[in-house]
Amino acid sequence: MAKDKFDEFYENLDREYGKSNTDKNVEYVMSLIKQRLQPDGKVDDNIPIPSLESVAEVMVIMTERPNLTFEQFCEKDRSHKRVIEYLFIRAKNHYDEVEGLIKQLLGKSFKGLTPKIVLAFLRMWRQMNKESRPTSFLKLILFPERAKEIIDTLHFMIDGEVGKGAATVMFVARDEGLISSCKYENIKDEFLSIHQKAYNKELAQLDRGDRETFFRPIRTLLRSRIGYTKHDDGRIEFVKTSMSPKNMLYQFFRWLWSFV
């Protein structure tokens, strides 16, 4: 069953979006995760620590030959495949361990490697392994292929609001059909500024009476910033764009959570 769902996930992405090298690299890491899926649905992250020399080689290749995909240079050297597995799979539950290995390279000397390359790689790695993992709020988004735009816009509009402003934005987002719920317990992990009592009090009042005049500017901002129109029959039509690497990661996390 897992195999079928994973294959379907890839096919849907390939059918709708072109593939950049970044897309291919994300897809390759997904395929490595797939290979390590155990019958209980957990990922085997018992990956041996690669040599510092192999990690340095991967960093240099990624910097000097960005036209090569992960899969292309891993096929030529299996030690490089182990590096990718260690950096992007082992790191999920052993973040400090992997980060420590990368930092060791700052004081080492390998062909083509400079401190600047190590620091640039470290920033990229941190973003992929820590900042890119979404909260469970992602499950509420009804258009996962636009998750980044929707989440970024909601954060922009809420911008530290604790009660009334936040409740109004989330209420309209649900009414627009962008998210399936605006209950506090479902959004609290993503929007940390929101105060439960103030938010719930305002949310309860929004269901009473006609406030469309009040909601209209919020609808307009949601539509213009995210990039969509809403037809009279309720259909939402997005401006045609290619899928960003972050949206592809969001798609992957939604797929992964479907097994939970």
For 183-212, what is each residue's pLDDT tens digit? Answer: 999 998 888 878 899 999 999 888 776 677
Residues 153 and 226 sit within 8 Å (Cβ to Cβ): yes
How do the domains of the chain map onto residue ranges?
Answer: 2-131, 136-257
> Binning pLDDT at 50, 70 and 90, where does residue 1 land?
very low
Closest alpha carbon to 86 in 54, 109, 115, 120: 54
**Global confidence as pTM:** 0.51
Residues 191 and 155 sit within 8 Å (Cβ to Cβ): yes
* Interatomic CA distance for residues 190 and 134, integer angstroms: 8
Residue 141's SS3 state is strand
* Interatomic CA distance for residues 172 and 179, integer angstroms: 10
